[in-house]
Amino acid sequence: MQLTPYTRKVYYYETDKMGIAHHSNYIRWFEETRVHLIEEAGLPFETVEQRGIMSPVLAAECEYMLPFRFGDTFIVKAYIPEFGKMRFDVIYEIYGEDGTLHAKGRTSHCFVDTDLRPVRIKKTHPDIYDIYSQICDAGDRLYG
């Protein structure tokens, strides 16, 4: 499996008075990257939700090293280090165009149905389980 990192520029509205990207945006960038990761693996996010599966965030953390400014391009690499039947984590690394690590973080998730009850997707949605499992098996080798 070969994936492309999520890349875009910092928007003006994401910055503070000093022109620096506000820390809250990094968590949003994690979400954008997570959607990108799953879609790149061949599983459009809308398809998962249409089939009655959601993956809410249980926890999020971010370590900030260097700021981004308005107009900077950032590149996010993400992978799933471990994958269980009901829960998973995503690891994120956010780089500048020059390859310098600016931030890293993790989000934790579970699978639930539309009534927010836990779901064991290996039993109920084996095709979705297989894609998440492939992402996990590929680990950080996803990016060429």
- Is 16 a catalytic site residue? yes
Choose the catalytic residue: 16, 127, 137, 140. Answer: 16
CA 92 to CA 6: how far, in whole Å? Answer: 11
Q: Angle at the Cα of 49 (from 9 to 77), degrees rounded to 5?
A: 30
Instruction: Kindly calculate the radius of gyration of the chain based on its CA atoms and give it in whole angstroms.
Output: 16
> In whole angstroms, how far apart are CA 132 and each of 13, 39, 42, 91, 112?
33, 11, 10, 14, 15
**Catalytic residue IDs:** 16
